[in-house]
Amino acid sequence: MASLTGEEYPVYRSLSGKVTSAQATIPALGPDDILIRVTHSGVCYTDYEFHRLGAPLALGHEGVGIVQAVGSAVTSLQPGDRAGGGFHRHSCGKCHYCLTGKDINCYQRTIYGAGDFNNGTFGAYYLGKEGYVHKIPEGLASEDAAPLQCAGATVYAVLESTVKPRDRVGIVGIGGLGHLAIQFAAKMGTEVVVFSTSSDKEAEARGFGASEFVLLNEPEKVSAPVNVLILTGNRYPDWNK
């Protein structure tokens, strides 16, 4: 495959209150770099917030696509693989946080909106680092894999670090994050209790794996206390009551 170094491609930035196409240039790849041609990207609320605030960065951080080229030290991926990533982009790899699996707290980390401002998944290409992009399994459609790169990873990380099998897990809100939280929690062997503002979401919640459904304005109807409460919506109970 011919080198793509120096080729210009479109990215989308928030400029003057509008999402505007702009040009970026593919750089020469470093040893750990992985160049992905983006085929699918999720749209996260964080993208909307950066746009609303007028941050002029290249938008998008839930990308999936086809690897086009890899750096000289890359061993986990090769051209032609499907890969995804986008929010957490790099860390030092040497500090206490990195060495204990908490590299998201690394003081030298690079995340979406804090560094790497010319590189977004709303564009033709995304340049990732080995260890921060990963191969997409066969059988998982790219359009389904894209939102897992941020929304899915965020919800899963919270559940994985908090819940145990047979816990009663309460999930407040059935939006995109809530949809994923219900499914993950059910697969982890927990008893899922969904709290919602809308009764017409009960069938959907139970279809995703919820075993109990309670309206937020009727919390007294919950059958037993929950061990963990996960907040994934934008309306919550009055905690003072």
pTM of the model: 0.88
pLDDT score, position 59? 96
**Percent of the chain clearing pLDDT 90 (strictly above):** 84
The arithmetic mean of pLDDT across residues 12-17, rounded, is 85
Kindly state whether residues 19 and 88 are assigned to the same domain.
Answer: yes
Q: Which amino acid is at 32?
A: D
The arithmetic mean of pLDDT across residues 72-80, rounded, is 97
Kindly state whether residues 111 and 161 are assigned to the same domain.
Answer: no
pLDDT score, position 117? 93
Other beta carbons less than 10 A from residue 21's beta carbon:
11
In a domain, 240, yes or no: no
Where in the sequence is the domain holding 70, given as residue range(s)? 8-145
In a domain, 119, yes or no: yes
Contact status, residue 33 vs residue 90, Cβ threshold 8 Å = no
Residues 144 and 241: their CA atoms lie apart, in Å, by 39
Q: Which helix (H) or strand (E) holds 133?
A: strand 133-135
Q: What is the CA 116 to chain-centroid distance, rounded?
A: 17
Kindly state whether residues 115 and 51 are assigned to the same domain.
Answer: yes
Nearest-5° Cα angle at 30, 86 to 128: 10
> Pairing state of beta strands 88-90 and 82-85?
unpaired
Kindly state whether residues 70 and 128 are assigned to the same domain.
Answer: yes
- pLDDT beyond 80 at 74: yes
pLDDT score, position 217? 86
The arithmetic mean of pLDDT across residues 224-231, rounded, is 93
Split at pLDDT 50, 70, 90, the class of 1 is low
Q: Name the DSSP letter for residue 184.
A: H
**Percent of the chain clearing pLDDT 70 (strictly above):** 96
Contact status, residue 201 vs residue 218, Cβ threshold 8 Å = no
Residues 35 and 153: their CA atoms lie apart, in Å, by 21
- pLDDT beyond 90 at 83: yes
Task: Identify the three-state secondary structure at position 186.
Answer: helix
**Number of domains the chain contains:** 2
Picking from 67-71, 181-185, 226-230, 233-237, which range would have the lowest pLDDT averaged per residue? Answer: 233-237
Residues 82 and 38: their CA atoms lie apart, in Å, by 10
* Model pLDDT for residues 138-196, shown as the tens digit of each residue: 999 999 999 999 999 999 999 999 999 999 999 998 888 999 999 999 999 999 999 99
Task: Look at residues 116, 145, 174 and tell me which one is the last residue of a structural domain.
Answer: 145
pLDDT score, position 188? 96
Task: Look at residues 98, 119, 145 and tell me which one is the last residue of a structural domain.
Answer: 145
The arithmetic mean of pLDDT across residues 98-118, rounded, is 94
Contact status, residue 13 vs residue 19, Cβ threshold 8 Å = yes
Contact status, residue 63 vs residue 146, Cβ threshold 8 Å = yes
- pLDDT beyond 70 at 237: no
Burial status of residue 161 (CB atoms within 10 A of its CB: 0-12, 13-18, 19 or more): exposed
What are the structure tokens assigned to 34, written together?
């992985």
- For the chain, the distance separating the N- and C-terminal CA atoms, rounded to the nearest angstrom, is 64
In a domain, 1, yes or no: no
What integer best gives the mean pLDDT of the chain? 93
Strand partners, 194: 171, 213
Q: Name the DSSP letter for residue 116.
A: -
Picking from 36-40, 108-112, 147-151, 229-233, which range would have the lowest pLDDT averaged per residue? Answer: 229-233
Task: Look at residues 119, 145, 171 and tell me which one is the last residue of a structural domain.
Answer: 145
Assign residue 22 the CATH number of its domain: 3.90.180.10
The arithmetic mean of pLDDT across residues 51-69, rounded, is 94
Assign residue 162 the CATH number of its domain: 3.40.50.720
Residues 25 and 169: their CA atoms lie apart, in Å, by 46
In a domain, 150, yes or no: no
pLDDT score, position 162? 93
What is the rounded radius of gyration, in angstroms, for the C-alpha atoms of the chain? 20
- pLDDT beyond 70 at 101: yes
- pLDDT beyond 70 at 109: yes
Residues 130 and 239: their CA atoms lie apart, in Å, by 43
In a domain, 186, yes or no: yes
pLDDT score, position 173? 85
